[in-house]
């Protein structure tokens, strides 16, 4: 009976902590998740997470309205194999905010390149989700000698990707779920992005909503810059970097049909379409998404070994 009382008291304490001190509770929850995944918080020209000591480096780039912690959970399966680096891009997460700065895809590529040069990282695997996938492809096209392979999770960048009702509505009205004007709209963002939504504590959703509302004017500007960035197929005939293209079949932010257009641009690519998954495979199905990536990397190593032999 005493044990039951102690457990009940502890649970009540957590509930109160979650509701009465959401900023501190969210900070604690995120910190625990990072440690559980073997990631440390670091600061350079961009704030970033880093973990693992594998022989090769894997750089992961979040999408619009996201941040470095979009990859925290999946990183637990990656750090045994790679040195994993996950930055916040300017305008997002804990990175700098500057309404006078450019945030188009070309500039974000250069922001990422300067950051990696600062860390002394010159050759790496590059993954990205959504806008981050657009940035990753553009990076590989501009600096092919640096990128060993691409891991593209529901990537933007092609005209076909934007052929969805969310972007049709955005082009007509300027509104879309990724732009959070008021706290209550955070739920619409999460529901739009994920078909198989993982559990988030209330404190974390509350803090993300506060940050998104604060960032609304800047993110309206950044969204315009991203959408106005030249499409990949208008700039490049093909990108020779080996790539794994992953797309959730239930994606409502970017069209899963664009996997075909992306594969045509990347002749050395493989495509995986994930049943019952939306726009964020690394959050909705982290174990399966990681397994698919590690299997792809093993195939690349076997292919390289066969070529050398």
Distance of alpha carbon 123 from alpha carbon 112, whole angstroms: 13
Angle at 169 between CA 168 and CA 172, to 5 degrees: 90
Out of 62, 103, 195, 206, which one is annotated catalytic? 62
Q: For the purposes of burial, counting CB atoms within 10 Å of the CB of 34, is it exposed (0-12), middle (13-18) or buried (19 or more)? A: buried
Q: Is 206 a catalytic residue?
A: no
If DSSP codes are grouped into helix, strand and coil, which group holds residue 173? Answer: helix
Out of 37, 125, 130, 149, which one is annotated catalytic? 130
Buried b (16+ CB within 10 A) or exposed e, 278-309: bbbbbbbbbebbbebbeebbeebeeeeeeeee
Q: Is 269 a catalytic residue?
A: no
Distance of alpha carbon 95 from alpha carbon 21, whole angstroms: 24
Q: Where are the alpha helices (DSSP H) in the chain?
A: 2-20, 22-36, 72-78, 105-119, 131-142, 165-173, 186-193, 202-228, 232-235, 258-265, 281-284, 286-308
> Whose CA is closest to 275, among 296, 258, 289?
289
Pairing of strands 47-51, 56-61: unpaired
Question: Would you please indicate which residues are annotated as catalytic (active-site) residues?
Answer: 62, 130
């Amino acid at each position: 009976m005493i044990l039951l009382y102690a457990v009940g008291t502890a649970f009540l304490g957590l509930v109160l902590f979650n509701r009465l001190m959401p900023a501190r509770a969210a900070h604690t929850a995120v910190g625990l998740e990072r440690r559980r995944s073997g990631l440390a918080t670091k600061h350079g020209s961009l704030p970033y997470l880093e973990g693992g000591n594998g022989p090769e480096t894997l750089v992961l780039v979040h999408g619009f309205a996201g941040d470095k912690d979009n990859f925290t959970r999946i990183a637990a399966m990656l750090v045994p194999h790679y040195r994993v680096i996950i930055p916040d891009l300017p305008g997002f997460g804990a990175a700098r905010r500057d309404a006078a700065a450019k945030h188009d895809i070309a500039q974000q590529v250069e922001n990422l390149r300067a950051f990696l040069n600062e860390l002394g990282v010159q050759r790496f695997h590059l993954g990205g989700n959504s806008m981050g996938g657009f940035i990753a492809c553009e990076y590989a096209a501009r600096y092919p000698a640096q990128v060993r392979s691409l891991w593209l999770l529901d990537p933007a960048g092609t005209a076909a990707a934007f052929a969805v009702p969310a972007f049709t509505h955005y082009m007509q009205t300027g509104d879309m779920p990724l732009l959070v004007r008021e706290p209550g709209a955070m739920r619409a963002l999460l529901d739009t992005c994920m078909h198989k939504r993982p559990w988030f504590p209330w404190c974390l959703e509350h803090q993300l909503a506060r940050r998104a509302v604060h960032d609304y004017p800047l993110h309206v500007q950044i969204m315009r810059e991203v959408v106005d960035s030249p499409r990949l197929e208008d700039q490049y005939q093909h990108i020779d970097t080996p790539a794994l293209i992953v797309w959730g079949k239930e994606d409502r932010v970017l069209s899963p049909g664009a996997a075909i257009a992306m594969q045509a641009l990347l002749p050395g690519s493989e495509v995986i379409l994930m049943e019952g998954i939306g726009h964020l495979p690394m959050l909705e199905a982290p174990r399966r998404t990681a397994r698919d990536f590690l299997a792809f990397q093993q195939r690349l190593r076997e292919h390289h070994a066969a070529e050398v032999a």
